[in-house]
A and B are shown apart, each in its own frame.
Chain A
Amino acid sequence: MSNRNYEKNDFNSPDDSSDVRKDLSRVSENIWDIPMSHAGGMNVPGRIFLSEKLLGTIDRETINQVANVAKLPGILDFSMAMPDVHMGYGFTIGGVAAFCPEEGVISPGGVGFDINCGVRLMKTNLQLGDVEPHMEKLTDKLFHTIPSGVGSKGQFKVTDEELTQAFLHGSQWAVEAGYGIESDTKNCESYGFMEGGNPEKVGTKARKRGRPQFGTLGSGNHFLEIQYIDKIYDPAAAAAYGLSEGQVTVMIHCGSRGAGHQICTDHLQNLNQAVKKYKINVPDMQLACAPAQSKEAQDYYEAMICGANYAWANRQIIMHWTREVFERFYGKDTDELGMELLYDVAHNVAKYETHTVDGKKKDVYVHRKGATRAFPAGHNEVPLQYRDAGQPVLIPGSMGTPSFILKGGPNSMSLSFGSACHGAGRVMGRGKAKNNMSGEEVKKELARQGVTVRAEKAEVIAEEAPSVYKNSDDVVDVVDRLGIAQKVARLIPVGVIKG
């Protein structure tokens, strides 16, 4: 239905695109393995889900990072990477690694500093024509309502007790505190919070950083985007999700802010000592870890859950304020505007989940660092209303490129510990992006394509320009073809708020 020609960005290879093919062994069309002979000490092979087309986006450092994770004790099956993979710090961004609770480890590096960085998608019953003429005004109002950018503060400071409740109950706390409606927690990964958080394992510093930042987007790649559905691939799943062509949606991408960053920083200090105590040989200090059952690992895990819950509450509050802007703008309430949460997924988190390993059911710690859960139809952790279709998987594109709604596919449990990609994946560093183009030029080009962008700084627009990312279509095609997560609908951006 789209009359808009969004432009596919030109492909940019990273600097070190020298032949990585010889490091990989092709298993099937979209599966490439890094054999254990790649580096000494690998306990399992590496496995990258990748198409021939995306092969040029992979550099040797990324492959080495996937191989490094394979050296951690008790890793199961493969050290995996999704098609949006790129070099990170310690783990790659786009990595999935599952560990046995008896011989394996828990590593904060496999989650990252931005604990439960994730994405939520809110539906509306508006059509493209209802928002398109007002995009300047609407993005302005959202930009002024939702704090974003460096040094931004929330509209309120929570009390210590409220912070504790948020650490324990995530979105459920936020909804009970008045920032949302009952259905919000039903339409969310693990109902908007992870059980087992222990606020006593969160240090004073993390509390201090987290208190003033509730309801803030942050900066960098975080965003709030107004989009519309231009294509439905799977009418049955789209019907189950309540999606139709032309429908306007709002996507929110952010995480646990300073609270999560500090939780990770504090526990990395402990785990850096733990590797010596437990005599674990880690190839990079950022892979610091401890045996899954040890006090050090469990302390981190319980604190990480608090960080994850903070992030769910944060996205909930931002969605609530978004609703208020739309309500005032259109003079209608949330119900009348159909502003219902479709789903909310974490893409930086570790979870204790049941999987089949060597033909037997086993509880394992799955680390997803820049990877999304993608549970298939029938899985008991998919909310009832979506269980026949499969879990909604939300894949944000970059600023000018499409985002996708997928459904957890039938092969995700056997291929990737129930995981899929999380976005487009960078191919160009920020410094280079800023040197190559100006934020104003990128903003103009996006305007030409029908995308209104509001950002605190023009540089951020250049750093996050569509051409610094892989094509989201190419990335999504890989997981779709593998049956890890399958395409349901495509979303085209019309308005973007950047930090």
Chain B
Amino acid sequence: MSSKAPFIYLDHIADIRFIARGETLETLFENAALATLSVIADVETVTPEIDFEIELETVSLENLIVDFLSELLFLFDSEETMIGKVSVSEIGKYENEDGEEKYVVKAVASGEPINRERQDFKTEVKAVTYSGIRVDKTEDGYETEVVLDL
């Protein structure tokens, strides 16, 4: 994989597997979002005119990225909005009162109402799976591997 490529797709017999990377966790999450959204449609065709604030919390980075990407699929169906741009402002970690580690993502997802004439749709993503999920620290940042159920 080129050190510049924000994400690449790897073949999977039934579904889609991708590797995304970023210098920071925030860019990693943004690039994973783009990798997911680009399976559904050409994100370049989407005008980011409606914003949705996303704030999620869970127990590990792996869980956090699955929850975060799942949220984008939820917005697609429930708000009938194609997201074209995602800005992640914070990936944080803290310890709660019970001494449990918590990971947090804060982001804004922007898009426009689904319009099948305008947006170049490709295929539906049913869900984000936990299969073989990983979020790793690399020499020059972070890398994640995700399988999407199509």
- Do the two chains bind? yes
Contact A90 B130 (CB under 8 A): yes
Tell whether A459 pairs with B122 under 8 Å between CB atoms, given A150-B41, A429-B11, A429-B14.
Answer: yes
Distance of A414 Cα from B87 Cα, bound (Å)? 55
Shortest CB-to-CB span from A271 to chain B, Å, is 10
Cβ–Cβ < 8 Å partners of A219 in chain B:
123-124
Say whether A343 faces chain B, with CB atoms less than 8 Å apart: no
A285 interfacial by beta-carbon distance below 8 Å: yes
Question: Provided the pairs A114-B126, A151-B76, A212-B77 are in contact, do residues A86 and B14 lie with their beta carbons within 8 angstroms?
Answer: yes
Q: Are B62 and A88 in contact (CB under 8 A)?
A: no
Binary A-proximity of B6-39 (CB < 8 A = 1, otherwise 0): 0001011111100000000000000000000000
B149–A150 CB distance below 8 A: no
With A209-B78, A220-B123, A265-B127 already in contact, the answer to whether A89 and B149 are too (CB < 8 A) is: yes
* B129 and A87 contact, CB distance less than 8 A: no
- Whole-angstrom distance between the alpha carbons of A428 and B13 in the complex? 5
Residue numbers in A under 8 Å from B149 (CB-CB): 89, 112-114, 261
Tell whether, in the assembled complex, residue A87 and residue B124 are in contact, meaning their CB atoms are under 8 Å apart. Answer: no
Q: Do A89 and B121 have beta carbons less than 8 Å apart?
A: no
- If A87-B13, A89-B149, A431-B16 touch, does A288 touch B77 (CB 8 Å cutoff)? no
In the complex, are the beta carbons of A285 and B127 less than 8 A apart? Answer: no
Which residues of the other chain, B, contact A150 by a CB distance below 8 angstroms? 40-41, 116, 121-124
Given contacts A112-B149, A150-B122, A151-B121, contact A264 B127 (CB under 8 A): yes
Instruction: Say yes or no: A261 contacts B126, CB within 8 Å.
Output: yes
How far is B14's CA from A430's CA once the two chains are assembled, in angstroms?
7
Mask of A423-460 contacts with B, CB within 8 angstroms, 1/0: 00011111110000000000000000000000011011
Taken residue by residue from 61 to 82, chain B's Cβ proximity to chain A (1 for < 8 Å, 0 otherwise) reads as 0110001001001101110101
Q: Which residues of A contact B126 (CB under 8 A)?
A: 113-114, 220, 261
> Chain A, interface size: which category?
35 or more
Determine whether A205 belongs to the interface, using a CB cutoff of 8 Å to chain B: yes
- The answer to whether the Cβ of A273 comes within 8 Å of any Cβ in the partner chain is yes
* B-side interface size class: 35 or more
Q: Provide the B96-138 mask, 1 if CB < 8 A to any CB of A, else 0.
A: 0000000000000000001010010111101111111100000
Residues from chain B with Cβ under 8 Å of A284 in the complex: 130-132
Interface residues in A10-63 (C-beta closer than 8 Å to B): 14-15, 59
Asked if A201 is at the interface (CB within 8 A of a chain B CB), the reply is no
Chain A positions 408 through 433: 1 when the CB is less than 8 Å from some CB of chain B, otherwise 0:
00000000000000000011111110
**In the complex, chain A residues whose CB is within 8 Å of the CB of B86:** none
Given contacts A88-B14, A261-B126, A432-B11, 5 further A-B contacts (CB under 8 A): A89-B131, A90-B131, A205-B74, A220-B124, A429-B11
Chain A interface residues (CB < 8 Å from chain B) = 14-15, 59, 86-90, 93, 112-114, 149-153, 205, 208-209, 212-213, 218-220, 258, 261-262, 264-265, 268-269, 272-273, 284-286, 288, 426-432, 456-457, 459-460, 463, 499
